Amino acid sequence: MGETDVIDLLLAQHGMIRNLFDEVEQAPAGEARAEAFTRLVRLLAVHETAEEEIVHPYARHAIDGGDGVVDDRLAEEREAKELLSRMDEAGPDAPDFMQNLLMLRAAVEAHARSEERYEFTKLRGQTSDAERRTMAAGVKAAEAMAPTHPHPGTESATKNVLMGTPIAMMDRARDVIRQAMGKKP
């Protein structure tokens, strides 16, 4: 099974998101911080969009009290996106960048814990291996657009790498996910 299970993939991404927050926090101000922040924004964009397109709609009807659980997660994701967009607009050199980063980190990590506790565990119990493998296709296609390590000089050559504002990245990720899942964009 390993990384072909959608829940395993999303849990692994939660780990990568934590590591990227560490990288941004520890990077010296300037280019290094901006570069690490861009990778974090990309990963958050593909991760949250994949959840919104694939697992939240499924969890809504598959788990007990699914509507309430999913509505709570969507509200958390919306708040994080708003803060992320404001941070992206102000840029990584803004005087309040670090303060906002810590706020974003606390919100994103609390959100991830709630998903793991209230949504993913139940979803694993309510789905077959085959269903979770099918759901993994969209997550993998999206993840390919968000390299988590810097690749100096080769980034522009990486196919489909996400660019622009967080919202533009999410729109692009949504198209790719829908295509991978065999849905109309």
Number of residues that bind Fe ion (CB under 5 A): 4
Q: Within 10 Å of residue 66's Cβ, how many Cβ atoms? A: 20
Which burial class, exposed, middle or buried, applies to 32 when counting CB atoms under 10 A from its CB (0-12, 13-18, 19+)?
A: middle
For residue 161, the surrounding DSSP H or E stretch is none
Find all residues with CB under 8 Å of 90, minimum gap 6, and list them. Answer: 96, 97, 100
**Per-residue mark of binding to Fe ion, 97-116 (x: CB under 5 A):** ---------------x--x-
Contact region with Fe ion (CB under 5 A), list: 47-55, 58-66, 127-135, 138-146? 47-55
Which of 51, 53, 119, 143 forms a contact with Fe ion (CB under 5 A)? 51
Nearest to 139 by CA among 174, 106, 101, 100: 174
Smallest separation, CB 175 to Fe ion (Å): 19
Minimum CB distance to Fe ion smaller for 72 or for 131:
72
User: Which CB sits closer to Fe ion, 94 or 106?
Assistant: 106
- Taking the least distance from each CB to Fe ion, the nearer of 23 and 77 is 77
List of residues contacting Fe ion (CB under 5 A): 48, 51, 112, 115
